[in-house]
Structure 1
Amino acid sequence: MAGFVLGLAALAPAGAWVWWQPEPRSPGTGANALWARHQWVGEAHTEDEYRALGRLLRENRMTDVFFHAGPFEPDGGVPAAKYRNARKLIEAVRRHAPGVRAQAYLGQIRKVEGHGAIDLDDAAVRERVLATDAVFLDLGFDGIHYDFEPVYPDDAAFLTLLDRTRELTRSRGRLLSVALEQGTLADAAQPVLKALLPRTGGLRYPPRPTERFLKDVADRADQVAIMTYDAALPTRSLAGWHYARHTAWTLRTIGDRTTVFMGVPTYRPAMGWAEDLDGALRGVRRGVDELDRPPARPYGVGVYADWTTDPAEWARYRANWLPGPPENDGR
């Protein structure tokens, strides 16, 4: 029996390797996002540094940049000292990368069962979050990008916050963008996993969006960025299959409802796993290959992150992704 099980386990990498060999048919796109470090809003920069940032955004056809501006305090605020150079940054982006949308990247560890930093179930906290969002929109940001973790598919308070935030951003002609974990392997398994898996810090793992919850978020947000990275798989072909599977599933589910960015990493995960930028980009393209038709809304990749991407990786990103059609530019 043990040999039979081991044999089955060996078939998965072998099958993934065979699947991985054909070149992707689908090109990349020009609707792409970048998660950017907090120093851009928190520290002073020279005009040359801003000019170099603008050149990087233009060369790599970024339509959106999520500039880390938080995190939220437990009461929903963000101290002004943390973003004292935000206005200068926004003005510089408009000078050096006109048309690129600078969004305020805000989030916090979601309090679940007494653990975590921010309690979105508290209406007063949600109101303070909205007031903080308004401050960043007043500074000139083109949108609000939320990254609350963990978010479970029964999180009604999170959806309520999205409803209210959408009212705010649309009243200003701005965007609401949301980062979410990759979807469930099987929606029916989610309750079983919650019951069986051990809890870490009081959290119920894995906090994966179901199909219904993903649609609920997409119907409230202008953009959804899927944090597809951290696949923790031992071979490049298995990691690529992971990206392809989630890309196809996500685009089939919400690609006609909202702009989608599939998150790809420019860092090497711990434990020597095989995930990397080249494999992730190839996997995303293979996922697009699986679709019967292109999504109605723009789609692309979200690069995580500017502080882990070196010039050689940017060059590979351009070579492996950017030859996509210019008409799908997300603007």
Structure 2
Amino acid sequence: MTTRRVLKWLAIIAAVPLTLVLIVAAMLRLDYAGTPAPWAKSTGNDALWLGHAWVDGRRTAADVNTLAARLGSMKDVYVHSGPLDANGTLPAAKYPNAANLLTWWKARLPGVRISAWLGQTVNPDDEGHLNLADQATRARVVAGAKALVDLGFDGIHYDFEPVDDGDADYLALMRETRQAIGSAVLSVATHQIEPVIGATFLFRTVGGHPKYWSPEYFRQMAELTDQVAIMTYDSWTPLQSLYGGYVARQTAMALELTPDTTDLLIGAPAYHDHMVGISDYAESVAMAAEGTRLALTDHGPRPNLGLALYIDFAATEEDWREYEQAWVRATEE
């Protein structure tokens, strides 16, 4: 084969992924097109992830009072109460101030549900990570969750990462937790839904771990829980318009897959140290709100849809301003 022919084939091979990237970018930009309807905004079903300082003694009743001023349109908070040990155990020593927090919270914010956020890295091949395939490990996870509900938390919010698409053990954990906690809120932070066919394979090849769930697996998770919160950040999109389109696509897919009886939360990045540097520019609370509003406009009203802000200790005044202006009071300015 001549040098010219080799170069020609190399150019063709290099052009294929570039063409695919450009096609996906065009799709996301189209998803971002249009004008949100005036009614497409917060209905008071929003949420906020809270860091571990709220249960380890660093936060006080005064901090609850300060936070209360931020939560006018929020229905839920998820308070980091772990992480779980590698065998699934949750020692009470990891949340020594939880009882005080619950007392302060119920007195000051009785209308905002407070769930215990539990998680760990999942890797069956690593002894230092949680193995949900082990029934005894799952039983210890469930026991820790029940202890927190018995303490006074309104529910449990699970966030295990990474979880492979189709992981039956994670679904089993949801069923077992439901049986243990009864009518308490069962919530889960989900992986993103595969936006286009082939994205799962591509990211696993480039990123080295699962990032997406198939639509069917996402549906199964939504059917087993009271609430799903999609972690729609660290999208690897380089432009604000593409991130807005990405959130619109994730929201549109989730609206079709999530039962009407299950709350749907769209994650909004109120932090500024993304895994990929370009995301610090592209991703914002405002763009997440805009993308969500566009998808909601196309779908029609969904009262139990909201934004979930990640995370309290990293959120800036600008993040909170964007939440208020782009989502809560989107049509008032």
Q: TM-score range by the shorter chain?
A: 0.7 to 0.9
Instruction: Specify the alignment match of 1:254 in structure 2.
Output: 258
Q: 1:16 to 1:134 in 2, by over 3 A?
A: closer
Letter matched to residue 308 of structure 2: G
Instruction: Specify the alignment match of 2:62 in structure 1.
Output: 48
Letter matched to residue 220 of structure 2: D
**Mapping of residues 1-331 of structure 1, within 5 Å:** 20=32, 22-25=34-37, 26-57=40-71, 59=72, 61-114=73-126, 117-170=129-182, 173-186=183-196, 190=200, 197=205, 200=208, 205-268=209-272, 269=274, 270-273=276-279, 274-291=282-299, 293-295=300-302, 298-323=304-329
Q: Deviations over 1:168-198 (max 9, x none)?
A: 222xx311001111111346775x559x726
1:29, 1:321 within 8 Å by CA — same for their partners in 2? no
Instruction: Specify the alignment match of 1:328 in structure 2.
Output: none
How high is the TM-score relative to the length of structure 2? 0.85
Please give the secondary structure, in 2, of the residue aligned with 1:52: helix
CA distance in 1, matches of 2:22, 2:165: 33
CA distance in 2, matches of 1:44, 1:134: 24
Please give the secondary structure, in 1, of the residue aligned with 2:210: coil
Q: 1:254 to 1:161 in 2, by over 3 A?
A: same
1:232, 1:275 within 8 Å by CA — same for their partners in 2? no
How high is the TM-score relative to the length of structure 1? 0.85
Please give the secondary structure, in 2, of the residue aligned with 1:90: helix
CA distance in 1, matches of 2:219, 2:100: 36
Letter matched to residue 46 of structure 1: T
Question: What is the RMSD computed on CA atoms of the aligned residues?
Answer: 2.7
Percent of residue pairs identical: 36
Q: 1:16 to 1:299 in 2, by over 3 A?
A: closer
Letter matched to residue 167 of structure 1: Q
CA distance in 1, matches of 2:124, 2:25: 36
CA distance in 2, matches of 1:175, 1:245: 27
Larger Rg: 2
CA distance in 2, matches of 1:21, 1:120: 41
1:115 to partner: Cα distance: 6.9
CA distance in 2, matches of 1:7, 1:182: 23
1:108, 1:148 within 8 Å by CA — same for their partners in 2? yes
Q: Deviations over 1:55-100 (max 9, x none)?
A: 222x3x1100000000100111122222000011111111111110
Unaligned runs of at least 5 residues, structure 1: 326-331
2:51, 2:313 within 8 Å by CA — same for their partners in 1? yes
Provide the aligned length of Structure 1 versus Structure 2.
Answer: 313
Letter matched to residue 236 of structure 1: Q
2:31, 2:248 within 8 Å by CA — same for their partners in 1? no
1:7 to partner: Cα distance: 8.1
User: Mean Cα displacement is larger for which, 33-42 or 251-260?
Assistant: 251-260
1:17 to partner: Cα distance: 5.4
CA distance in 2, matches of 1:163, 1:229: 27
CA distance in 2, matches of 1:307, 1:163: 32
Unaligned runs of at least 5 residues, structure 2: 1-7
